[in-house]
A and B are shown apart, each in its own frame.
With several copies, the nearest count.
Chain A
Amino acid sequence: MINKIVKTAAEAMAGIRDGSVVLLGGFGSIGLPYALVDGLLEQGAKDLTVVANNAGIGRIGLARLFDANRVRKIICSYPRTADPIAFLEAYRAGRVELEVMPQGTMAERMRAAGAGIPAFYTPTSVGTKLAEGKEEREFGGRKYVLEEALYGDVALVEAWEADRWGNLTYRSSARNFNPVMAMAAKLTVAQAQHIVELGALDPEQVPTPGIFVDRVLHVPYGEPTVT
């Protein structure tokens, strides 16, 4: 019987290696799998490259990985949040490298990784300093830049419901980056508020089919309290 549900955060994080590229779901705090991030801190992997829309808030979640000096590089679209203190400290101390890219390019690069597309052209960033050094090409008289797929070793995602096959649903805007990150990594780990029986999910409504998911941890934490 296929059963992707694991019992502990330690099991969920088993085997994650130093130097991994970690795709971290969420937009601000919404849809961000805090329990898995804490598990990753506990697990101890270091020299991580983290791909996330934001660079952590206060002293929670991703911020804890900065404080513990586990992150070598962060790739994000918007490092500034209401309180990016841990990131800024690490960044100013030269402990972490920052790569900023347009939000849609970040999403599409991961979707490409998941879809077997090694590279694609996009109009986003053409004529700006974020396009410097990038290959440019015209199609139909308009300029585009080449962007390569962004692959993860690990994706940490947050879901609303999950079943033992790893099928996932999301809630409202907590969907955000989670489905594309789930597609783009070799190992995808989800934390889910609810575990449901196989067959309980509406087959018309599975934004992340279990084929993209390796492990599921039940984390019924209730309502997010920060955005």
Chain B
Amino acid sequence: MNVNVSANVLTACRPWSRVDIAAHAARDIPEGYYVNLGIGIPVLVADHIPADREVIIHSENGVLGMGPAPAPDKINRWLINAGKQYVTLVPGGCYMHHADSFAVIRGGHLDLCVLGAFQVAENGDLANWATSASDSTPAVGGAMDLAAGAKAIWVLMEHTTKSGESRLKHRCTYPLTAPGVVKRVYTNLAVLDVTDDGFVVREMAPGLTLEALQDVTEARLRIAN
């Protein structure tokens, strides 16, 4: 499941897997957080939160306290997540309608939303809903509400596109989901904070150097003090 990065970097390091990326984010979520997990790598985060740490997961289709996928013989066919997969409800969870669910989101009650993205810019701009301004059937879903509403936005994504283009940009070239909202990015190559001075590298994949990472990154990188 490792992703496509330019050859020099691949030979220099062991990139993290999608599961590793999710596990890194899971490790950093404090107990008691209310968290929404987007479609893609983010939904994997739930499986990596330590069993002794209570984190409450929200799904924008009106589920607060979402649990893991059910056993095949225990499916509640009225209970799905935002990705339209069958899920479960944990004890203490509850249901709400869409206006209430988005009041939770827009009202700033989620401590964190973990999203996938096409691009993140060094000013925190997020592009995760459309890959061109002329997309004829764009599908925004709840992405803009989550990006504008949650107290913090983390992005989990592969560091580059399949063709090797950096997803960490000086400025996003794809249509924005929200400006200036991303606080942290977890990729297959690094964990980075978005600061007033742009991306700051907190952690790199084993064997990777800042120079090699910069080589495959359009945005300018700095190392954490």
Contact = CB atoms under 8 A, between A and B. Distances in A.
Is A–B contact present in the complex under a CB 8 A cutoff?
yes
Interface of A: 1-2, 27-28, 30-31, 77-82, 88, 91, 98, 100-105, 107-108, 110-111, 113-117, 122-130, 163-165, 167, 170-180, 183, 198-199, 201, 203-207, 209-212, 223-225, 227
A123 B104 contact: no
A178 to B, nearest CB: 7
Interface string B63-101: 111000000000011111100111001011111111101
Contacts of B99: 107-108, 110-111, 115, 179-180
Given A177-B97, A178-B97, A28 B80 contact: yes
Contacts, number: 206
B12 interface: no
A30 B80 contact: yes
Contacts of A201: 92, 94
Contacts of A2: 31-32, 54, 56
Contacts of B94: 167, 201, 203-206, 209
Contact of A127 (B109, B133, B145, B179): B179
Nearest to A181: B98
Report, nearest first, the 5 A-B pairs whose CB atoms are least far apart: A199-B91, A104-B102, A116-B106, A104-B145, A115-B103
Contact of B148 (A28, A82, A123, A178): A123
Interface stretch (B170-178, B190-198, B203-211): B170-178
Interface of B: 31-32, 34, 54, 56, 58-65, 76-81, 84-86, 89, 91-99, 101-110, 133, 136-145, 148-149, 175-179
A125 B144 contact: yes
A176 B97 contact: yes
A199 B65 CA distance: 11
Given A88-B137, A124-B106, A104 B142 contact: yes
B106 to A, nearest CB: 3
B144 A124 contact: yes
Contact of A203 (B95, B106, B110, B141): B95
A9 to B, nearest CB: 22
Contacts of A183: 103, 107, 109
Point out which of B65, B133, B140 has the most chain A C-beta atoms below 10 A from its C-beta. Answer: B140
Contacts of B56: 2, 165, 210-211
A131 B96 CA distance: 27
B149 A172 contact: no
A102 B146 CA distance: 10
A211 B86 CA distance: 23
B78 to A, nearest CB: 4
Contacts of A224: 77-78
Contacts of B89: 172, 203
Contacts of B97: 107, 170, 175-180, 207
Contacts of A172: 63, 76, 78-79, 89, 95
A99 to B, nearest CB: 11
Contact of B98 (A88, A107, A130): A107
